[in-house]
Structure 1
């Protein structure tokens, strides 16, 4: 039996309308919070710089995940990722995106 404890942040997650970074300590349920509460067209868990796991638990190459994210964005879709930093550090960076799917220019560091 799996137990899911509702969190105060759930309503905030449901109302997300733009690019949002959710961060916190390890193993605190951030990915589950997003998967259960955000309406999205594509979800991917980046496992390392070479592979990813889709919402239906398929292991795919990182290049295929990036291609799918770009297609989702091109259609105006919403995507979410766990371990987003792995995509950004990959040789084919996506850049910053908004959750609505519209690419935005990252601010200068």
Structure 2
């Protein structure tokens, strides 16, 4: 019963996380989305269509979108594994967010 509740919680969290329409930052004039993957799929398809039409300047965008999708999937899997296998997963995730935040501030000051 507890495992079924956990599965429902994880799946519903994933659904609402993907559906959220948040914007975070731009990278080389590309909008980096912070919380959903569906728009990355749309953007990758649109850019790939332009590539097939002969517009070759934005090939790097296709790689960027596909890597972002891959990292979303890897992050989801790692998050699931943390929740299922560690006693205090939220503390670890919290510390990781703090460390990544400090690294982001340090790198953006360069």
Q: Normalising by structure 2, what TM-score?
A: 0.24
Bigger-Rg structure (1/2): 2
Which has the larger helix fraction? 2
Which has the larger strand fraction? 1
- Higher RCO (C-alpha under 8 Å, 6+ residues apart): 1
Q: Normalising by structure 1, what TM-score?
A: 0.24
